[in-house]
């Protein structure tokens, strides 16, 4: 009985899943199960972490991709944010991307802003007539 009390409180499944998910969200990019286990505090077995991750995968809450012999896991709700970060890194790195990415906007020159405001103002007043 005394032994029982010393063991950490048994946590509910939902609680564990939420913890794993929040750890994954903190990760900067895809993370391995070992990394998740470490961040959780180490009182969970590796296989337990894998089990939880697999259950989250079945629910669509995380995604995984092959990284060498194991998987790298990402919180699904964070996929868009991850993609945004990757895309920003790409756009910042590529100075000469015009040939590929026909972008909606190009930069504004020094006088362009004033000119643009005048044009829009004009069109607004014409629209109201």
Site residues, other proteins (CB under 8 A): 63, 74, 79-84, 86-88, 90-92, 94-109, 111-113, 115-117, 119-120, 122-123, 127
Compute the least distance from the CB of residue 82 to other proteins, in Å: 6
Q: How far lies 36's CA from each of 5, 48, 53, 74, in Å? A: 26, 11, 10, 11
Nearer to other proteins, 43 or 94 (CB): 94
47, 82 Cβ separation under 8 angstroms: no
CA 122 to chain centre: 42
Nearer to other proteins, 45 or 119 (CB): 119
Compute the least distance from the CB of residue 48 to other proteins, in Å: 25
Nearer to other proteins, 67 or 90 (CB): 90
Compute the least distance from the CB of residue 117 to other proteins, in Å: 7
- Residues near 32 by beta carbon (within 8 Å), at least 6 away in sequence: 67, 70, 71, 72, 73
CA neighbours within 13 Å on the CB side: how many for 60?
A: 0
Compute the least distance from the CB of residue 64 to other proteins, in Å: 10
Nearer to other proteins, 3 or 92 (CB): 92
């Amino acid at each position: 009985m005394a032994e029982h009390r010393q063991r950490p409180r048994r946590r509910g499944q939902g609680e564990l899943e939420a913890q794993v998910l929040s750890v994954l969200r903190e990760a900067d990019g895809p993370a391995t199960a070992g990394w998740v286990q470490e961040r959780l505090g180490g009182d969970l077995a590796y296989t337990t972490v894998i089990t939880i991750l697999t259950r989250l995968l079945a629910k669509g809450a995380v995604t995984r991709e092959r990284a060498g012999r194991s998987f790298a896991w990402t919180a699904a709700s964070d996929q868009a944010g991850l993609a945004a970060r990757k895309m920003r890194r790409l756009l910042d790195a590529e100075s000469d991307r015009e040939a590929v990415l026909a972008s909606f906007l190009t930069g504004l020159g020094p006088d362009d802003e004033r000119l643009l405001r005048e044009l829009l103002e004009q069109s607004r007043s014409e629209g109201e007539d």
